[in-house]
Amino acid sequence: MGAVSCILFDLDGTLQDSEKLAMEAQRVGFRSVLKREATEEELNQLKGKPVAKVIGILYPEHGLQIFEHSVRYYDANCESIALYDGVRDMLERLMEAGYPMGIVSSKRKGYVVRELKASGLLSFFDCIVGQEDTEEHKPKPTPLLLAVEKMGVPIEACIYIGDQVTDIRAASAAGMTSGAALWGEGERELLEDGRPDHYFTTPEQLVSHFTRASEVNSAG
């Protein structure tokens, strides 16, 4: 891989702590429609994936109703999602270092934009790819390839940072560098299956890595 000059991020579980809200919304959907609690296995099957599509496959008779109840709960609370510690400073410093940045998320774009506006992060990103922008989703490379096209940069100059193994596999399939974010939902033991190129324990570690690289490239 060549030098990285463009950084793409996943959103949920990577930049913002939205997984708790997403899982609680799904629990509300299960309780409202199926009159029972969702199991951890069921919730894990939905994590990091386009929920409407996956839940419709898992529960063809009730999936739409579960999803609708979940969406109502999520919609009422999504503008209060917290950022992980150090994320805002990381993005500020990466922007100062001259890195163009984008978001590639399995969430619908309207929610991505709304949540980034609420947290004050929207202006950091030159490109946003959401669920409805592609037919295929992570771990397929299609959303990342669309982001690269929109950003106008070579694939080999990009890195994708995410907290799920599907993020790492999508980056590898796209032919770009992959980075595992371990400060949020990411668990090293699970992410190792995707063989990421880099592990970042904190946002500070990530920004130090790329600001050093930027200084070296400038000096060269």
* Residue 195, both tokens: 């063989």
**pLDDT tens, the chain, 220 aa long:** 568 999 999 999 999 999 889 889 999 999 999 999 999 999 988 887 778 888 989 899 999 999 999 999 999 999 999 999 999 999 999 999 999 999 999 999 999 999 999 999 999 999 999 999 999 999 999 999 999 999 999 999 999 999 999 999 999 999 999 999 999 999 999 999 999 999 999 999 999 999 986 665 554 5
pTM over 0.85: yes
Residues 6+ apart with CB under 8 A from 218: none
Among 164, 173, 170, 14, smallest CA distance to 103 is for 14
Q: List beta partners, residue 142.
A: none
Sheet of strand 127-129: strand arrangement = 127-129, 101-104, 6-9, 158-162, 177-181, 198-200
